[in-house]
Homo-oligomer: A and B are copies of this chain.
Amino acid sequence: MSEHTYKIVELAGSSTQGSDEAVRNAIARAAKTLRNLDWFEVVETRGHLVNGKIAHWQVKLKLGFRMED
């Protein structure tokens, strides 16, 4: 962060592969519509279980991006 103002949005990404991949998926989706993405923070890691196995990893994260002046 320099002299600008940043907006922070909260997303939840999911993946069948693992926790890091759930983060990457959420960021990839956000990058389709948001510019100037600057940082993320993991808020919560959880998942959905089916038949005693992890069906989806689900990670909540906050994303900060610089607002246009």
Contact = CB atoms under 8 A, between A and B. Distances in A.
Given A1-B12, A1-B48, A14-B2, A53 B41 contact: no
Given A7-B9, A8-B60, A48 B44 contact: no
A54 to B, nearest CB: 7
Contacts of A53: 27-28, 31
Q: How large is the interface on A (under 10, 10 to 19, 20 to 34, 35 or more residues)?
A: 35 or more
A62 to B, nearest CB: 8
Interface in A6-47: 6-16, 18-20, 23-31, 37-42, 44-47
A52 B28 contact: yes
B48 A45 contact: no
